[in-house]
Amino acid sequence: MSILSALFLFATGAVPPPAPPPPDPPAILVSRQLLASEHLALGDVIALSGDPKGSRAREFRIAGVYEPVPDPARLGMVPLEARLHLSDLLALIADPADPAASESVRSIGVKLVSPAEASAFMRDLTVRVPGLLLRELAASDDSDVTFVVLDRFHLAISLVTVIASSIFLLALMVMLVDERRDTVAVLRLIGLRRRRIFIQVLAEGLVIALAGALFGVLLAVVLEGGFNRFFQWRYDTALVFVRVTPAIAARAVSVAVPLGILASVAASWGLLRRGAMALARR
């Protein structure tokens, strides 16, 4: 989160530029959401203040609109943000009674040429500028952790749905096989071997599983757009919620096909083990 978001932005709405025209107000960028919520437009002059009473408000001209970087941890919160030049921000929030205030910032970000030498850099800086608080930012921040956790959560949910689907598939195959009991009995009676029927069951299971998996992937691709559009509309965000990649499609097919085959075999196992006469007798 930038220093800008720490500022309480007090948008008082569009105000007509004073006459005679003073020097042009400084330029700022506003988030798309702020532009929409306050009914602003590019080129509008707005007043911003550092405190809720609106004291010491200053005017700025909207020079551009930006889409805030989507943050899943802040999903649902409308990012009403503005980006100012640092000097404008300091002039807006600094205490006029404190001459040093306009020189103060909360933090300074440093990008090292050699990130591996961060510890040595920090030791060196502590000696050179006593009183500074130095922290090394980890490679991953909280947003990454949130993504990883959500990923694990979705994986766990998909595991449960795979279990439920397997049961459904098995139930379907059991019914299918039961329906074919008479046919299997006749085939056995006319001399077909168990192995031959087993291969046929296996082939049927493969075809059903493959067709089902491909249909599932196709359905996911079709639903992908609708799902994303709904949630992007619901949360007013540019986050992409669902993305069916070839790798995910391949993973889905690679799970579904063996499960389908296994379900076919499991369902027909009892039927294949019985003798032809036992099958023919109801």
Site for another protein, rule CB under 8 A: 1, 3, 5-9, 51-53, 72-73, 75-77, 93, 101, 104-106, 131, 133, 135, 142, 145-146, 148-149, 152-153, 156-157, 160-161, 163-165, 167-168, 170-172, 174-175, 178-179, 227, 231, 234-235, 282
* Burial of 272 per CB tally in 10 Å (0-12, 13-18, 19+): middle
Q: Write down the least CB distance from residue 88 to another protein, Å.
A: 14
- Closer to another protein at the Cβ: 131 or 246? 131
Total length of the chain: 282
Q: Write down the least CB distance from residue 5 to another protein, Å.
A: 6
Strands 58-66 and 27-31: parallel
The CA distance from 112 to 110, in Å, is: 6
The CA distance from 240 to 15, in Å, is: 36
Q: Write down the least CB distance from residue 43 to another protein, Å.
A: 26
CA atoms within 13 A on the CB side of 12: 18
Q: Write down the least CB distance from residue 137 to another protein, Å.
A: 13
Q: Write down the least CB distance from residue 106 to another protein, Å.
A: 5
φ, ψ of residue 52 to 5 degrees: the values are -65, -20
Neighbour count for residue 201 (Cβ, 10 Å): 22
Q: Write down the least CB distance from residue 153 to another protein, Å.
A: 5
Q: For the chain, list the strands marked E by DSSP.
A: 27-31, 45-48, 58-66, 82-83
- Closer to another protein at the Cβ: 98 or 117? 98
* Helix, strand, coil percentages in the chain from 3-state DSSP, rounded to 5: 55, 5, 35
Q: Write down the least CB distance from residue 6 to another protein, Å.
A: 6
- Closer to another protein at the Cβ: 149 or 238? 149
- Closer to another protein at the Cβ: 52 or 191? 52
Helices of type H across 59-141: 86-93, 118-128
- Closer to another protein at the Cβ: 75 or 249? 75
The identity of residue 23, as a single letter, is P
- Closer to another protein at the Cβ: 41 or 108? 108
- Closer to another protein at the Cβ: 164 or 248? 164
